[in-house]
Amino acid sequence: MTRARRVIPGGVNSPVRAYGSVGGVAPFIERGKGARVIDVDGNEYIDYVGSWGPLILGHANPGVLRAVRKAMARGTSFGAPTEIEVELAEAICRALPSVDRVRMVSSGTEATMSAIRLARGVTGRDRILKFDGCYHGHVDSLLVGAGSGVATLGIPGSPGVPEAMTELTVQAPYNDLDAVEDAFRRWPDELAAVLVEPVAGNMGCVLPEPGFLQGLRELCTRHGALLIFDEVMTGFRVAWGGAQRRYRVKPDLTCLGKVVGGGLPAAAYGGRRDLMKQVAPDGPVYQAGTLSGNPLAMAAGLETLHQLEKPGVYEGLAARTQRLAEGLEARARDEGVELCAVHVGGMFGFFFHPGPVRSFDDAKKAHAGRFRKFFATMLDEGVYLAPSPFEAGFVSTAHRPGDLTRTLEAASRALRRAARTRG
């Protein structure tokens, strides 16, 4: 880490990796296989970070590696159309109920930024509503009330973002339809879109309450605004076809990332045909990218979706995740520790909080000291969790029953230590 700090800010290329909120030094990973990662010192960990969500098939999945090698042999980048990007786009459109056309980009930040530009372009309105604790990438106007690393570091926004860039961003508490309705009353003809993580994954994992997503759909339709689902995390993670299929709500635009790249840098945004026809070169809303549709990333994403489409994959993934989340709650009860855990598909989260946690305000009331102690003990026990209480965890198809058993046994010991933490 000392060497890394000399040439990289904080020694890391994304802030949460620096372990600032949990203390200690981040392990430098050398390799991964299946559900395990091994650091440069030879320590092996059961991994529930999964590269922050993309590795739903685990590390170094043989099928994904074969697909990438095959694509690599033909060349790494062309900056020109290729057949494989069409195949991945077709797979996404088949799976997601709301997506007729899709544009590939290279990161989730690009996807949300582009979807917002499109929403403003087609509605002629400027304001965007987002929810406290939801993180949509490091777009200037979206760092207001953001989760993920912004919340972990305790940064209210970011220096370098002019107030003019954020004054058109309206905030509301997650799961609070009344606040959204109030915003529409205040700015009846100014809100271009409501942008939401359908399952919040950047304030920890927080589920939408019954009727919340349906209520957003109704309010947006009534007021002529677009509903944008940020499914960068939930897309193909919580179900085949994402949260919109699971909760049966059709957004106007969808942002995707992580799983659709199969572990390589790829993302996308898409939606109804009439909206996507406004994107250049078909329409006037400009967006471009040199590495968009990169053939290596398209190959990894397409192979990942092919494997996920097989019968029983999501049922097995959900069963593993449920066992882990419910097991954490049970072990916490045994140790007399207040902890609530949630799970959906292959995504889970837990809070040192009696629950329920339904908003960012609730998440911030969780016991930070207990999380730090729990995290450090789990790492010592060989279990690799996200180094922040404001991040979701991820289970892969590579996790085996023995991995879950070992994790829960380690959790009992970690919870015992966490129980003694007061401050």
**Domain ranges for the chain:** 2-61+311-419, 62-308
Tell me how many degrees the CA angle 344-348-350 measures, rounded to the nearest 5.
130
List the strands of the sheet with 29-33, edge to edge.
Answer: 29-33, 36-39, 44-47, 383-384
Q: Which of 19, 45, 135, 269 is catalytic?
A: 135
Give the DSSP H or E segment for 194: strand 191-196
Q: Of 273, 269, 279, 272, which Cα lies nearest the Cα of 104?
A: 269
Q: Does domain 62-308 correspond to CATH entry 3.40.640.10?
A: yes
Same topology for domains 2-61+311-419 and 62-308, yes or no? Answer: no
From the candidates 47, 132, 230, 252, which is the catalytic residue?
Answer: 230
Phi, psi torsion values for 3, nearest 5 degrees: -65, -45
What pLDDT, on the 0 to 100 scale, is given for residue 241?
A: 96
- Residue 141: the pLDDT is 76
pLDDT of residue 151: 45
Angle at 74 between CA 71 and CA 80, to 5 degrees: 90
- 192, 125 in Cβ contact below 8 A? yes
Residue tagged active-site, from 19, 47, 130, 258: 258
Q: Is 258 a catalytic residue?
A: yes
pLDDT in tens, the chain (423 residues): 778 778 878 888 777 777 877 877 888 999 999 999 999 999 999 999 999 999 999 999 999 999 999 999 999 999 999 999 999 999 999 999 999 999 999 999 999 999 999 999 999 999 999 999 999 988 877 876 654 544 444 444 566 777 777 788 999 999 999 999 999 999 999 999 999 999 999 999 999 999 999 999 999 999 999 999 999 999 999 999 999 999 999 999 999 999 999 999 999 999 999 999 999 999 999 999 999 999 999 999 999 999 999 999 999 999 999 999 999 999 999 999 999 999 999 999 999 999 999 999 999 999 999 999 999 999 999 999 999 999 999 999 999 999 999 999 999 999 999 998 875
Q: Is 403 among the catalytic positions?
A: no
Please report the pLDDT score of residue 153 as a whole number. 42
Angle at 175 between CA 173 and CA 181, to 5 degrees: 70
Is residue 373 part of the annotated active site? The answer reads no
Fold classified for 2-61+311-419: Aspartate Aminotransferase, domain 1 (3.90.1150)
Contact between residue 148 and residue 391 where contact means Cβ atoms under 8 Å apart: yes
Longest dimension (CA), the chain: 61
Q: Which alpha helices (H) appear in 167-283, and where do they start and end?
A: 177-186, 212-223, 242-247, 273-276
Predicted pLDDT at 154? 43
Query: For residues 86, 92, 93 and 94, what is the CA-based torsion angle, rounded to 10 degrees?
Result: 110
* Residue-level pLDDT at 6: 84
